[in-house]
């Protein structure tokens, strides 16, 4: 897929989910680098930077996207030939994709340890990291049952229930607003993340904060499955994570909305769950309480404070 096609697919959500977006962007960058005709390393770098910007602008919330792109672009730091720069990008991109796939497997193994035989789980949206934990617990022979939400307006819950059904896991499919009604039947909420701030706040699909709030009230634990590249370095400087608002036609057809001039339709795609509603964040490096988010940014993302300014 050429770069502009990948960018369009991420924007339209044909490619979606923070981890998949990151891998697709990195693969598109590698493909672009492989075919880029540049006379000198500086031009190569400039063109690569433009390509990187096109990809990172597609969806503003998933921090995995700029983190992944940046990890590839850092390979371009110093080179005296276009070929050497190209090889470095290709190597770094392959390394990222392999790391990302491995991270999802590690998270599944670690997360499954926190799921007990007989547990009733609740998940929201479609997260490969969260589902990985649930599928692994099932694969280990634990008898589990899942509540999966519908996920208005884009209905990602349908992808989730297909996966759970294919694995033979007993699943209840519920509308988003039924979470509080069922929360007392649930032992553990397992969700993914698009971004995690330095204070442990978790940005994930709209509705996650409401679910975590209901879980908190019911004393039901909430675990978040997230690769280390979903932690947001810039939040160290107090920068907020931008919440994407998508086309309102996803919520209400334009022809209906047009007849309601006093109604403004809103479509925020993600929300922020405060750290105090999150019990554990499962990363490929181990499970941490949200209060330790800073250590992940410091130890695994390789950002130097001066680069953040």
Ligand X SMILES: O=C(COP(=O)(O)O)[C@H](O)[C@H](O)COP(=O)(O)O
Tell me which residues are annotated as active site. 125, 194
Count of positions on this chain that bind ligand X (CB under 6 A): 18
**Per CB under 6 A, does 205 bind ligand X?**
yes
Q: Residue 245 has what DSSP assignment?
A: B
For the bound state, the minimum distance from the C-beta of residue 100 to ligand X, rounded and expressed in Å, comes to 9
Q: Which residue is nearest to ligand X (CB)?
A: 192
CB closer to ligand X, 155 vs 286:
155
CB closer to ligand X, 8 vs 90:
8
CA distance 151 to 41: 46
Binding-site member from 60, 192, 200, 233 for ligand X (CB under 6 A): 192
**Per CB under 6 A, does 156 bind ligand X?**
yes
Q: Residue 81 has what DSSP assignment?
A: S
Binding-site member from 56, 58, 127, 283 for ligand X (CB under 6 A): 127
> What is the end-to-end Cα distance of the chain in Å, rounded?
34
For the bound state, the minimum distance from the C-beta of residue 258 to ligand X, rounded and expressed in Å, comes to 26
**66, exposed or middle or buried, with CB in 10 Å at 0-12, 13-18, 19+?**
buried
> 125 is written with which tokens?
């949206």
173-179: list long-range contacts, CB under 8 Å, 24+ apart: 173/148, 174/147, 174/148, 174/149, 174/150, 175/149, 175/150, 176/124, 176/149, 176/150, 176/151, 176/152, 176/207, 178/149, 179/122, 179/147, 179/149, 179/207, 179/210, 179/211, 179/214
Segment 60-119, which members bind ligand X (CB under 6 A)? 62
> 20 is written with which tokens?
């998949």
Contact between 171 and 140 under an 8 Å Cβ cutoff? The reply is no
Site string for ligand X, 216-255 (x = CB under 6 A): ----------------------------------------
**Per CB under 6 A, does 269 bind ligand X?**
yes
**Per CB under 6 A, does 58 bind ligand X?**
no
3-state secondary structure of 262: coil
CB closer to ligand X, 30 vs 224:
224
CB closer to ligand X, 54 vs 62:
62
| H or E segment and range at residue 64 | helix 64-73
Q: Which stretch binds ligand X (CB under 6 A): 14-22, 49-57, 93-101, 175-183?
A: 14-22
Residue 140: how many CA atoms within 13 Å on its side-chain side?
19
Binding-site member from 19, 66, 200, 207 for ligand X (CB under 6 A): 19
Q: Which stretch binds ligand X (CB under 6 A): 15-23, 24-32, 50-58, 68-76?
A: 15-23
Collect all residues with Cβ–Cβ distance below 8 Å to 163 and sequence separation of at least 6.
126, 131, 135
In the annotated binding site for substrate, the residues are 16-19, 59, 204-205, 230
**Per CB under 6 A, does 125 bind ligand X?**
yes
Interface contacts to ligand X, rule CB under 6 A? 16-20, 62, 125, 127-130, 156, 192-194, 204-205, 269
């Amino acid at each position: 897929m050429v770069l502009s096609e990948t960018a369009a697919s991420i924007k339209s959500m044909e490619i979606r989910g923070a981890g998949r977006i990151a891998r697709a962007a990195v693969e598109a960058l590698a493909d672009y680098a492989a075919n880029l005709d540049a006379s000198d390393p500086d031009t190569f770098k400039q063109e690569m930077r433009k390509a990187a910007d096109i990809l990172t602008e597609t969806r503003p919330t998933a921090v995995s996207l700029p983190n992944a792109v940046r990890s590839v672009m850092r390979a371009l730091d110093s080179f005296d030939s276009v070929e050497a720069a190209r090889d470095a990008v290709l190597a770094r991109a392959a390394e990222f994709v392999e790391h990302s796939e491995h991270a999802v497997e590690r998270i599944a193994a670690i997360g499954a340890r926190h799921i007990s035989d007989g547990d009733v789980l609740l998940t929201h949206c479609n997260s490969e990291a969260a589902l990985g934990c649930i599928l692994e617990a099932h694969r280990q022979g634990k008898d589990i049952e899942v509540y999966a939400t519908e996920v208005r307006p884009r209905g990602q819950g349908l992808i989730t229930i297909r996966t759970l059904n294919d694995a033979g896991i007993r699943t209840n499919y519920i509308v988003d607003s039924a979470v509080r009604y069922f929360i007392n039947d649930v032992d553990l909420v397992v969700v993914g993340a698009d971004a995690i701030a330095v204070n442990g706040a978790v940005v994930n699909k709209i509705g996650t904060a409401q679910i975590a709030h209901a879980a908190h009230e019911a004393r039901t634990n909430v675990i978040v499955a997230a690769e280390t590249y979903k932690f947001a370095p810039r939040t160290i400087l107090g920068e907020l994570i931008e919440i994407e608002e998508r086309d309102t036609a996803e919520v209400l057809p334009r022809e209906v909305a047009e007849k309601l001039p006093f109604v403004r339709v809103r479509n925020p795609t993600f929300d922020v769950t405060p750290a105090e509603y999150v019990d554990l964040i499962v990363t490929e490096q181990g499970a941490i309480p949200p209060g330790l988010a800073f250590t992940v940014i410091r130890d695994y993302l390789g950002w130097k404070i001066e680069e953040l300014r």
